[in-house]
Amino acid sequence: MRKLGKALYLVFAFILLYLPIVYLAYFSFSSGQDMVHFQHFSWVHYQALWADKNLIAIFLQTILLAILSSLIATAIGTCGAWGIFRLRGVQRKTLLVFNNVLMVAPDVIIGASFLICFTALGIGLSFWSVLLSHIAFSIPIVVLMVLPRLHDLDLTLIDAAQDLGAGKGLIFNQIILPEIMPGILSGLFMALTYSLDDFAVTFFVTGNGFTTLSVEIYSRARQGINLEINALSTVMLLVVLLLAGGYLFLTRQHDISLGARS
């Protein structure tokens, strides 16, 4: 009986979590114009989406922005993590506190204060201001993803490499980098999702006709239901599912090797 209760709650919770998402996808295949009555199955909204050159351009811009910002943020963040790792005591604590400011600060504050900053620095609002902002708010998460890996790094591995004749550069490339690579990759992944997900900061600092998908969806959604957005979200849902499947597959392989170890 208790088991049944638990199972029911699990089902209830997951219906709740996925209902809106499924609901969106379902109506993307309706030939109608609202999310009330499913008319009949049709690809009409996908065709409209495909024909919407403007939206496709925005989609590509968003992807480009995400890739660029996450790569740069990962590079700076990894260097930062290494720097912080080498520091001790107060210096280290201070840097970590400042690192976390953007992690806890609400999007609205980040957006507003960046807007003031860009204005003060004389940087016009355009693709560049958005790119800079996305790099800026992605750096701390990269640091937080890489640091634990550095801490887990077995320092005797460095001794061992040295013992076997390796110099400093070689030790970094062949020992440290491969060891912290999972951290760097999850940092990159997080930075990517942060950038793709962001609405508020972009909303504040964008200009000169540059928009991202989030901003575009916001302005369309304010005008009411538009099933082209449903079609778009279904496509994005598929991408996310593929990513999640890949992640699951990779971690499962990882699990097997971990299991054999114990």
Partner 1 sequence: MNIIELRHVTRRYPDGFTALHDINLSLEPGKFYSLLGPSGSGKTTILRLIAGFDQPTAGEILFKGRDITNLPASRRPLNTVFQNYALFPHLNVFDNIAFGLKVKKVAPDEIKKKVERMLSLVRLEGFGKRSVQELSGGQQQRVAIARALVNHPKVLLLDESLSALDKKLRKTMQFELRSIQKQLGITFIFVTHDQEEALAMSDEIFVLNDGRLQQSGSPSAIYDEPVNEFVARFIGDSNLMSGHMIRDFEVEFGNHRFECADAGIKPGEQVQVLLRPEDLSLVEPAQGKIVVDILSQLFLGDHYEIWAKDDGGFNWLIHTVEKAPAERCGLHFAPDAIHVMRLGESESEFDQRLSQYEEHEK
Partner 2 sequence: MKNKSSFFLIPYLMWLLLFVAMPIILLTVNAFTDTQGQISLTNLRAFLANGACLKMMVNSFWYALLITGLTLLVSYPLALVIANCRHQRLWLLLVILPTWINLLLKTYAFIGLLGQHGLVNQALQFFGVAPRQLLFTKAAFVVVAAYIEIPFMVLPIYDSLHALDKQIVAAARDLGANAWQTFWRVIWPLTLPGVRAGVQAVFIPSLSLFIITRLIGGNKVITLGTAIEEYFLTTMNWHMGSMIGVILIVIMVLVLLATSGKEQNR
Binding site for partner 1 (CB under 8 A): 154, 156-157, 159-167, 170, 175, 178-179, 257-258, 260-261
Residue 257 contact among partner 2, partner 1, none, beta carbon within 5 to 8 Å by kind? partner 1
Of 59, 57, 215, the residue nearest 133 (C-alpha): 215
Q: 50 or 98, CB closer to partner 2?
A: 98
> Is the distance from CB of 61 to CB of 210 less than 8 angstroms?
yes
> Is the distance from CB of 168 to CB of 203 less than 8 angstroms?
no
Residue 108 contact among partner 2, partner 1, none, beta carbon within 5 to 8 Å by kind? partner 2
Q: With binding defined as CB under 8 A, does residue 225 bind partner 2?
A: yes
Q: What is the DSSP letter of 223?
A: T
Q: Which of 49, 58, 115, 201 binds partner 2 (CB under 8 A)?
A: 115
Tokens linked to 128: 């560049």
Q: With binding defined as CB under 8 A, does residue 56 bind partner 2?
A: no
Give me the DSSP letters along 177-200. Answer: HHHHHHHHHHHHHHHHHHHHH--H
Task: Calculate the CA 52 to chain-centre distance.
Answer: 26
Q: With binding defined as CB under 8 A, does residue 243 bind partner 2?
A: yes
**86/81 Cα distance (integer angstroms):** 9
Q: Which of 63, 71, 117, 153 binds partner 2 (CB under 8 A)?
A: 117
State the Cα angle at 139 between 239 and 116, rounded to 5°. 105
Stretch that binds partner 2, among 48-56, 63-71, 150-158, 242-250 (CB under 8 A): 242-250
Number of chain positions touching partner 2 (CB under 8 A) = 78
Q: With binding defined as CB under 8 A, does residue 179 bind partner 2?
A: no
Strand, coil or helix: 143 = helix
Cβ of residue 196: shortest distance to partner 2, in angstroms? 7
Q: Which residues ranging from 151 to 170 are in contact with partner 2 (CB under 8 A)?
A: none
Residue 175 contact among partner 1, partner 2, none, beta carbon within 5 to 8 Å by kind? partner 1
